Amino acid sequence: MGEGPHWKYPNLYYADLDTGQVVRYDTITKRTYKCQIVNHRKVSFIIPYKNSDTLFAVGLNHLAAQIYWDGLATKCHVIKRLFEVETENPRDIHNCLNDAKCDSRGRLFTGTGNCDFDNAGVNDHGPYRNLYKFADGRLERILPNVNLSNGMAWNYKRKEYYYIDSGRNDIIQFDYDLETGRTANPKVVFHLDTSEFPPNFTGWIVMDGMTKGTAGYLYVVVHGTNKILKICTRKWRIVEHIETPCQFISSATFGGVTLRELYVTSVDLQNATTPCGKIFRIRGFTARGDPNESISDI
């Protein structure tokens, strides 16, 4: 269940959500390394720390934590708890941190969703989940009543931050001040009409992970289809459908030496007839992707 791809040359890092493993693919040696986070069986993201090759922030159910991993060991341990969310109310038992990204100053943005995918998942529209920002050791809720937190991206020239609520199939745009990290004026700017896609056996057709190119276009993965949507953020319309071999893709990021290769994670679901559960690389882009940012030292 590949999630949260993060490119830091020459490595692609990602999480295997339902195993508690984080993964490093070395694009030079073509070797893959997996590390089991001890005492954890769910991990939703992995983001390196600035100025470190061995420290990472990870999402572990309700907990965001720091782990040490030399990139080779098969087991790694939590060495610091960063923050914990949504643990006090019994209604939140299935909530967990999902996607996460950092802005260029190293502030961590992450949100929650219902991670009991077998029983509820995106079909649960309870208003008990939130979008958060973590910076300077402080946790701030920046958007309440979300359904399933997912892809994120920034356009610093236009002072905008984008965020996907998968349960509602909406892209929400905030005004964003990079100097202060302040978000304001959230509004829905794009809603995905799923009627254009053929149904699948899960019933899920949702916008999932997202990345951005330097030209300003968003590249949005649609889980339950084999499509990545290239979306214009001026007119908020789809300008291209990029196809993959898998119907259950989950997220994407640009990588490679020049950030012109798109790495796509996917989910191996029971009864899937396509080659899901693999990582795909799409080449041939003239567009260049935004770099993945690391979390600042705390």
Class of domain 2-282: mainly beta
Residue-wise pLDDT tens for the chain (298 aa)?
A: 999 999 999 999 999 999 999 999 999 999 999 999 999 999 999 999 999 999 999 999 999 999 999 999 999 999 999 999 998 887 788 899 999 999 999 999 999 998 776 554 445 555 579 999 999 999 999 999 999 999 999 999 999 999 999 999 999 999 999 999 999 999 999 999 999 899 888 889 999 999 999 999 999 999 999 999 999 999 999 999 999 999 999 999 999 999 999 999 999 986 656 689 999 999 999 989 999 999 997 5
pTM assigned to the model: 0.95
pLDDT at 121: 46
Q: Which two tokens stand for residue 244?
A: 């993959």
Determine the Cα–Cα distance for residues 130 and 92; give it in Å rounded to an integer: 11
pLDDT tens per residue, range 140-154: 999 999 999 999 999
pLDDT at 5: 98
Closest CA to 209 of 177, 248, 235: 248
For the chain, domain boundaries:
2-282
pLDDT at 94: 85
Q: 123-132: long-range contacts at Cβ-Cβ below 8 A with a sequence spacing of 24 or more?
A: 123/203, 124/167, 125/167, 125/168, 126/91, 128/86, 128/89, 128/91, 128/92, 128/95, 129/86, 129/92, 129/95, 130/85, 130/86, 131/163, 132/85
Percent of the chain whose predicted confidence (pLDDT) is above 70: 94
In Å, how far are 17, 18, 19, 46 from 3, measured between CA atoms? Answer: 6, 10, 12, 9
Q: Which two tokens stand for residue 3?
A: 């999630």
